[in-house]
Structure 1
Amino acid sequence: MSLNDALSIAMSGLRANQAAMSLVSSNVANAETPGYIRKSTDQVAVNSGNGSSVRTVGVNRELDQYIQAQLRTETSGAGYASLRSSFLQQMQSLYGDPGSVGSLEYSFNALTTAVQALSTSADSQSARIGVLNAAQTLAQQLNSMTQGIQSLRSAAENGIKDSVTTANTLMKQIAKINNQLTANPQGGTSTDSNTAALLDQRDQYVTQLSQLMDIRVTTNGANQVTIFTGSGVQLVGNEAATLAFNAQGTVSAGTTWSADPSKSNLGSVVIEFPNGGSIDLTAAGAIKSGTIAAYTELRDKTLVEAQNQLDQFAASISSALSDKTTAGSVFPVPTVPPTALPAGTPTGFTLDVSQMKPGNVIHFTYTDTATNTQREISFMRVDDPSVLPLPNTATTDPNDTVIGLDFSSGFGSVLNQLNAALGGQATFSGTAGALTVVNNPAFSNVNAASVTVTQGPNDLSNGNPELALFTDSGTAYSGGISKSGSQMAGLAGRLTINNAIVADPSKLVVYSGSTAAGDTTRSALLLNQLNNASFTYSPATGTGSDTAPFKGTLSSYMRQFVGQQGAAADSAKQLADGQNVVLNTLDKKMADASGVNMDDEMAHLLSLQNAYSANARVMSTVNELYKTLMQAF
């Protein structure tokens, strides 16, 4: 080996050592930098006629791509789970701990206790005031809970908006870096220092994007990435798509999202492609994880369901106290003494429907003689014909068929609608004050009939012990349906105490002009209804199902949905904690595989220093040899 060869080999070694030490310095300096990937030099041996030297051809990122892909998936899951847990914990605080002061259960029990006290001391002014105070507290509790739930929905709406803005910024940055990357002549993972830094930055953007939504990432030979949603919609290539979100300013119990833009009151996430065209990602369900998915689910499902629970409870407690159901009078009117009717004589019932309010129903049961099958039908008063026919959600009883009756065109029209609805199986006639339904013996046998009428806020001394203790912002709650929706929607936020009773608490006892002092008829009815009235609750509340809806008393229903909310909050927290454990484990694996270990870097630096010294000694020795040779000549 010539001295020139030895010198060349030593110099190549020094250059390689200098490059490696520079990377060690960079690794140490960026040990705590988020997203920084440990770097090393990519060296190749160069053979010459009398030996071999080393050449640095680029920089390697010590990246474990498999762990990185797992980390992004779990980042999406953790973002979804943590956000959902946070919201459910906040919602749980609205309900309060079961039995604790300020909880919904405590307020309801306080009302029941106050009415019980009134039923034993009906002439006590303090007992009457106690009922009003307890009722007021319960109404305010429901108002406050509604406000809290809608505030959370508003926060979710704004959260989607902010997430979309952040996602657009990240996607543009990723596309920009894609365009800065050129074909890599070295192939594989080798690149130069500046490009390696760009890749670190790009991967950090991708990881941040994965927290917002579930994504799938592919990489080409030039280290450029193409990003898709988990469902396959392309977000980023050499150009970035744009996410648009038409955020709404106000969110209330009446504002809901719909896949039909003409019916939706809330924003949708829409992707707009660089070359034209768009997809409604919310309607398509294309975002299934990450914070955007969590915000959307909370806004449109979880919190809506919670509001439905409160509204159903408010509606049930209002109806339990104010609705009066009266069975129909037998038709024909029995004679005294009773005489047998001629065979085949139509029989039925007579009902007074003159006091029906929108949402009140005429209910009857009949047996189909052809199949001997008993059927239930409810006719609901409707004053807005634009909502007809009524949706299936108009009833919570799977055995009951609800048909809407347009009362806006007079009672003659109502009779025509009733007769048309049954197609001759039964016949309706008479007036609003004496509506008669009779069977057609060839087709049916009418077994029972009744009408439910809601007592209005001022119907306090009409002889009926039922009363409207609670009102819908001062008007009667009767469950009506109009083009603006069901009266039940948002009722918990509008529930108030009847001002007429506040002005005259004696009406909690006095229900007619002849009510005796200390009469407990009304207070006993109120107590019985609060304790024993049973309702069938809509599956939209998350209790029961379409085929087997939950049925029970006010207290059992309240315990059901309060318990569900508590269980959901606990489950969400456990999921978030578990997801964070997985994420932290992957973070550690990623740090071990691709992060900077200070001990390893120091050991590597020491090794490089020794190699540098060795190469320097070779150069020094060669230099001395050259001097000796020169002196010899």
Structure 2
Amino acid sequence: MSGLFSTFNVAKRGISVQQRCIDVTSHNIANANTPGYSRQRANITTTRPFGMPSMQGAFEPGQLGTGAEVSSISRIRDTFLDYQFRSESSTYGKYEQRYKFLTEVEGIFNEPSDSGISDLMGKFFDAWQEVSKNPSISRNVLVEQSKALSNALNHASNQLDKVSKNAEGLIKDSVFEINNIFNQVNQLNKEIRAVTVSGKTPNDLMDRRDSLLDELSKKFNIDIDREQLNTVTVGANDSEYGDFTFIQDTDDKDFNRLSYVNSIEPNLKPDGTPDGTYNVTYYELGDSSKPKTINMKMSKDDAKKLGDSRILMADKDGNPVDKDGNLIKDGGEPVIFAPTSGDLKGLASIKDDVKVYRDQLDNLAKALAMAINSVHSGTNKSSEDELPYFVSKEFNEKLKKIKNDNSLDEDEKKKAIKELTKTENENMEKNITSGNLELNCEISDDPMKIKVGKDGAGESDGSKALLIAQIRDAMLLIQDMDKDMTRDKFITLTSEGGIESNTKGMKLDGYFKDTVNKLGVQCQEAKRTTKNQLDLLAGYDESRLSVSGVSLDEEMANLIQFQHAYSANAKVISTVDELLDVVINGLKK
């Protein structure tokens, strides 16, 4: 029943409630600038009142309250805004990586400029034009321009290879980082479950978990299911990975991890053809100190997919699993992790794009060599007696080795060079790429060996040099170039020794400019999408902050409110104390 002591207890509870509210407000203010922090609120409810119906209950009019208590401390968070932010974050991650690397590729090509490949190609043909006018005095300039062009192609090719290697390195680092995030979220799940079971709400732990999930969503598009006891289950938001989960809500369930693939080597049959299996070297959980090699069965398309993504689905220890989640044995089929968005997708797509640009650069180098060599030799078929103008680096190395062999006399060297040319002639341009194109070292050492005119016409004849200069405007089927292309398929010579144009073809310079234009369009698309996604994420983040962020003005207003309530409850206690003094000590009078 009610009384002074009951009133005293009500005020005491009131002080405790206001003290707890002040504690929560203080915590909010302290974390006003903490990234990922969600403001918290003490939920106050009334305690059980007097006058509840019972057999022994005394009759009193109405119900008399017994005060208040803090039933829970909740964090203010909008899960739908989290979902929207994370969905768009993976798209942003994909295009951010694409823009960063495509910008780097643009820098490699350096077009348009007065020092790019297009400009050097123009200077190369201009040099041939000058040689046609002054065959006896312009050859050294031609040699230097030829070297400059081949060096530019070599450099661009090597830089593209570095870009691809850098993308692979970032994939490896991302795999290691992603597995680390998985482990952290899994540990937080355990702690959150334990705190929740004890009847409390682990707000700060859930904030830390949400921050990690935000970070993870940029790597790939994650799928989050909220379970009992405030735990979460996390998987990939792609249908083909629906049976795999990376974070489970309880410890008694299996979970998956990711492993990085370092190399893929096809196994060959006795006749030299692929047998459909590959030796795959992978790093457990992306840790380069733990390499393992296993034989896997894959189609050619899957091998390419794995070569691009470089990631395998694995068990918790980093060992690859099949589609049923079982460990792969030799000859098993792996599950290739290739998400459709996020940093991982952006890096994988860059490797594809770089390969395309590298192939187009190789086509340019091969076509240039075929065209120049055909007119320079006067035939569209390789011959052991010809002196090719452009060759591969490997051919030059063999040629230099013969020329520098002091154990051979001049006749023996000529015979060895002729034999080398005979051996290599069928693959003279087939093996040429943008990475190994070089000027023939015989011409480089002696520019007078450049064939500038018709045989027997004298040094003043520059007709052949003029025909080579006109290759600049020839239409060639360079877009149909492949590794099996040969001179006779690619080029038809005119009666004068020049090259017939094909109306279905492209100019060498036009083909390269088309490649650069395509790169520019892709780079602009990546830039535009990155900016749009960044603006979209900023909007979602602002919406999240409007819900979860700490407003110092609001917290100060709450602090004043709780302070007044605390003082009022203290005043009630003081008043009850005086009344009790009257009851206890005043009755003596």
Bucket of the pairwise TM-score, normalised by the shorter protein: 0.7 to 0.9
Query: Do structure 1's residue 579 and structure 2's residue 523 form an aligned pair?
Result: no
Q: In 1, are the aligned partners of 2:392 and 2:428 still within 8 Å (CA)?
A: no
Listed one character per residue, the Cα deviations across residues 277-336 of structure 1 (whole Å, up to 9, x for unaligned) are 62599975641111111111212x11111111111111111111113699xxxxxxxxxx
Listed one character per residue, the Cα deviations across residues 456-502 of structure 1 (whole Å, up to 9, x for unaligned) are 7x723xxxxxx4235454368978599xxx735xx111111111111
Counterparts of 1:210 and 1:263, CA distance in 2: 22
**1:37 Cα deviation from its structure 2 partner:** 1.1
Evaluate the alpha carbon distance shift between residue 283 and residue 568 of structure 1 in structure 2; reply closer, same or farther with a 3 A threshold.
farther
Counterparts of 2:346 and 2:48, CA distance in 1: 59
Q: What secondary structure is seen at the aligned counterpart in 2 of 1:11? A: helix
Alignment-derived partner of residue 382 in structure 1: none
TM-score of the superposition, structure 2-length normalised? 0.74
Evaluate the alpha carbon distance shift between residue 513 and residue 133 of structure 1 in structure 2; reply closer, same or farther with a 3 A threshold.
same
Q: In 1, are the aligned partners of 2:81 and 2:540 still within 8 Å (CA)?
A: yes
Listed one character per residue, the Cα deviations across residues 46-102 of structure 1 (whole Å, up to 9, x for unaligned) are 23111242111221010110111111112212221111101011110011131x122
Q: In 1, are the aligned partners of 2:219 and 2:342 still within 8 Å (CA)?
A: yes
**1:273 Cα deviation from its structure 2 partner:** 2.9
Counterparts of 2:461 and 2:506, CA distance in 1: 29
**1:260 Cα deviation from its structure 2 partner:** 5.2
5+ unaligned residues in a row in structure 1: which ranges? 251-255, 327-354, 356-450, 461-466, 542-548
Q: What secondary structure is seen at the aligned counterpart in 1 of 2:130? A: helix
Q: What secondary structure is seen at the aligned counterpart in 2 of 1:36? A: coil
Counterparts of 1:111 and 1:52, CA distance in 2: 96
5+ unaligned residues in a row in structure 2: which ranges? 51-63, 266-279, 281-297, 324-332, 397-420, 484-502
Evaluate the alpha carbon distance shift between residue 478 and residue 242 of structure 1 in structure 2; reply closer, same or farther with a 3 A threshold.
farther
Q: What secondary structure is seen at the aligned counterpart in 1 of 2:435? A: helix
Counterparts of 2:4 and 2:482, CA distance in 1: 89
Listed one character per residue, the Cα deviations across residues 107-163 of structure 1 (whole Å, up to 9, x for unaligned) are 111112111212222222xx2111111111111111111111111111111101100
Alignment-derived partner of residue 349 in structure 2: 297
AA at the equivalent of 2:312: V
Query: Do structure 1's residue 278 and structure 2's residue 317 form an aligned pair?
Result: no
Alignment-derived partner of residue 59 in structure 1: 73
Alignment-derived partner of residue 562 in structure 2: 608
Q: In 2, are the aligned partners of 1:538 and 1:550 still within 8 Å (CA)?
A: no
Counterparts of 1:480 and 1:12, CA distance in 2: 93
Q: In 2, are the aligned partners of 1:181 and 1:224 still within 8 Å (CA)?
A: yes
Return 274-283 or 550-559, whichever deviates more. Answer: 274-283
Alignment-derived partner of residue 221 in structure 1: 228
Counterparts of 1:246 and 1:279, CA distance in 2: 15
Query: Do structure 1's residue 96 and structure 2's residue 110 form an aligned pair?
Result: yes
Return 575-584 or 274-283, whichever deviates more. Answer: 274-283
Alignment-derived partner of residue 123 in structure 2: 110
Q: Select the residue among 430, 444, 463 that pairs with 1:502.
A: 444
Counterparts of 1:72 and 1:14, CA distance in 2: 42
Q: Select the residue among 298, 305, 311 that pairs with 2:362.
A: 311
Alignment-derived partner of residue 442 in structure 1: none
Q: What secondary structure is seen at the aligned counterpart in 1 of 2:460? A: coil
Evaluate the alpha carbon distance shift between residue 459 and residue 277 of structure 1 in structure 2; reply closer, same or farther with a 3 A threshold.
closer
**1:192 Cα deviation from its structure 2 partner:** 3.1
Q: Select the residue among 150, 155, 179 that pairs with 1:139.
A: 150
Alignment-derived partner of residue 208 in structure 2: 201
Aligned length: 478
Listed one character per residue, the Cα deviations across residues 391-437 of structure 1 (whole Å, up to 9, x for unaligned) are xxxxxxxxxxxxxxxxxxxxxxxxxxxxxxxxxxxxxxxxxxxxxxx
Listed one character per residue, the Cα deviations across residues 226-269 of structure 1 (whole Å, up to 9, x for unaligned) are 1110113322113542211122599xxxxx99655599777721
AA at the equivalent of 1:273: D
Query: Do structure 1's residue 246 and structure 2's residue 188 form an aligned pair?
Result: no
- Identity, in percent, stands at 23
Alignment-derived partner of residue 58 in structure 2: none
Q: Select the residue among 386, 389, 392 that pairs with 1:459.
A: 386
Q: Select the residue among 550, 556, 580 that pairs with 2:510.
A: 556
CA root-mean-square deviation: 3.4
Q: Select the residue among 154, 177, 188 that pairs with 2:188.
A: 177
Structure number having the greater helix percentage: 2
Evaluate the alpha carbon distance shift between residue 501 and residue 154 of structure 1 in structure 2; reply closer, same or farther with a 3 A threshold.
same
Evaluate the alpha carbon distance shift between residue 293 and residue 265 of structure 1 in structure 2; reply closer, same or farther with a 3 A threshold.
closer
Q: How does 1:37-48 map to 2 (within 5 A)?
A: 37-48=38-49
AA at the equivalent of 1:167: I
Counterparts of 1:625 and 1:77, CA distance in 2: 69
Evaluate the alpha carbon distance shift between residue 592 and residue 481 of structure 1 in structure 2; reply closer, same or farther with a 3 A threshold.
farther
Evaluate the alpha carbon distance shift between residue 615 and residue 479 of structure 1 in structure 2; reply closer, same or farther with a 3 A threshold.
farther
AA at the equivalent of 1:526: I
Query: Do structure 1's residue 77 and structure 2's residue 91 form an aligned pair?
Result: yes
Counterparts of 1:325 and 1:498, CA distance in 2: 12
Q: How does 1:350-499 map to 2 (within 5 A)?
A: 452-454=380-382, 459-460=386-387, 467-474=388-395, 480=427, 487=431, 491-499=433-441
Query: Do structure 1's residue 515 and structure 2's residue 457 form an aligned pair?
Result: yes
Counterparts of 1:277 and 1:532, CA distance in 2: 53
Counterparts of 2:428 and 2:564, CA distance in 1: 86
AA at the equivalent of 1:269: I
Alignment-derived partner of residue 27 in structure 1: 28
Q: In 1, are the aligned partners of 2:171 and 2:310 still within 8 Å (CA)?
A: no
Alignment-derived partner of residue 400 in structure 2: none
Return 158-167 or 277-286, whichever deviates more. Answer: 277-286
Q: What secondary structure is seen at the aligned counterpart in 2 of 1:453? A: coil
Q: In 2, are the aligned partners of 1:12 and 1:55 still within 8 Å (CA)?
A: yes
Alignment-derived partner of residue 568 in structure 1: 522
Q: In 2, are the aligned partners of 1:248 and 1:267 still within 8 Å (CA)?
A: no
